[in-house]
């Protein structure tokens, strides 16, 4: 794998608090632009609404100083305050992002707050409206997660939250390997290898027999360094057994950790 492709892979995942790589899906450039157009239309509608009121104010009040103050206030409200307020109150959503299925999050995957929304709205005033979207489009076109300048400054990006619902495929320990599972040691595999094995097991029934056997053999060759001992069974069966065993042990470890946290949280600190 080249250094460039590896860097792109790293841009498509974040690390959880347990240092586990979680694959994420950023919203693409086209859908980001579409969502920005919808949000921009809303902001312009608010500003045009002020222009209608402005005509009435000029006729009734006729104060040029008041007109200038209200014009600046309308600009700030329509293009900075309104986007910032909507994004903060909806936790990273907006009308445009609802339409394209996106949400603004921090680069580490956490929820974006008021500070991030304010920075994005402030920088967006320049890159989106003063430059007619040219700076935002060019910046997003050359970043892996389609981040515009405001995202780079605020440390955020648009994450896809509307994804197809996947039906989990339950797997069980293959018959005849129960005795092996009792003594086997399956170490933690690299996240990319574990993900490839999981994807292969999910898609194996749709593969041609020759390709299915070849891929299973290649994956087992990579995974054999983390499986001890390797049972005398077909490669795909070994991959299934190792996956089941690892999931069971990780699930048991998580349950023990949760029970420990519950016990600690129930201890009286003042005792």
pLDDT tens by residue, 223-245: 999 888 988 889 999 898 888 88
Q: Has residue 171 been placed in a domain?
A: no
Helices and strands of the chain, counted as H and E runs: 12, 6
Q: Is the pTM of this model over 0.85?
A: no
More confident residue, 43 or 58: 43
Among 116, 133, 160, the domain boundary falls at 160
Structural domains counted in the chain = 2
Segment 249-258 shows an average pLDDT of 75
Whether residue 50 is found in the same domain as residue 126: yes
Whether residue 124 is found in the same domain as residue 29: yes
Q: Has residue 32 been placed in a domain?
A: yes
- Three-state secondary structure call for residue 228: strand
Among 160, 188, 204, the domain boundary falls at 160
Token pair for residue 192?
A: 């990319």
Q: What is the pLDDT of residue 206?
A: 84
Q: Has residue 166 been placed in a domain?
A: no
How far apart are alpha carbons 92 and 105 in whole angstroms? Answer: 7
How far apart are alpha carbons 170 and 107 in whole angstroms? Answer: 32
Q: Has residue 173 been placed in a domain?
A: no
DSSP structural state of residue 175: T
Whether residue 116 is found in the same domain as residue 187: no
Q: Domain residues for 97?
A: 9-160
Q: What is the pLDDT of residues 141-158, one digit of tens each?
A: 998 888 999 999 999 999
Report the greatest alpha carbon distance in the chain: 91
Whether residue 118 is found in the same domain as residue 199: no
Q: Has residue 168 been placed in a domain?
A: no
């Amino acid at each position: 794998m080249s250094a460039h492709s590896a860097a792109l892979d790293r841009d498509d995942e974040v690390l959880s608090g347990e240092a586990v790589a979680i694959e994420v899906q950023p919203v693409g450039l086209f859908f980001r632009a579409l969502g920005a157009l919808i949000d921009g239309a809303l902001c312009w509608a608010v500003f045009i609404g002020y222009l209608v009121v402005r005509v009435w104010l000029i006729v009734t009040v006729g104060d040029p100083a008041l007109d200038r103050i209200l014009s600046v206030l309308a600009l700030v409200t329509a293009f900075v305050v309104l986007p910032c307020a909507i994004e903060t109150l909806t936790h990273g959503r907006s009308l445009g992002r609802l339409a394209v299925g996106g949400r603004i999050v921090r680069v580490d995957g956490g929820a974006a707050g008021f500070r991030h929304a304010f920075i994005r709205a402030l920088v967006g005033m320049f890159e989106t409206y003063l430059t007619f979207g040219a700076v935002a489009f060019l910046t997003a076109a050359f970043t892996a997660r389609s981040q515009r300048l405001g995202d780079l400054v605020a440390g955020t990006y648009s994450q896809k939250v509307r994804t197809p619902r996947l039906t989990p495929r339950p797997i069980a320990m293959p018959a005849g390997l129960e005795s092996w599972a009792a003594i086997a040691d399956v170490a933690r595999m690299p996240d990319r290898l574990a993900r490839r094995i999981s994807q292969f097991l999910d898609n194996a029934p749709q593969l041609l027999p020759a390709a299915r056997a070849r891929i299973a053999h290649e994956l087992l060759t990579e995974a054999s360094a983390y499986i001890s001992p390797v049972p005398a069974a077909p490669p795909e069966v070994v991959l299934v057994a190792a996956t089941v065993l690892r999931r069971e042990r990780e699930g048991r470890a998580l349950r023990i950790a949760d029970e420990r946290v519950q016990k600690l949280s129930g201890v009286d600190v003042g005792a």
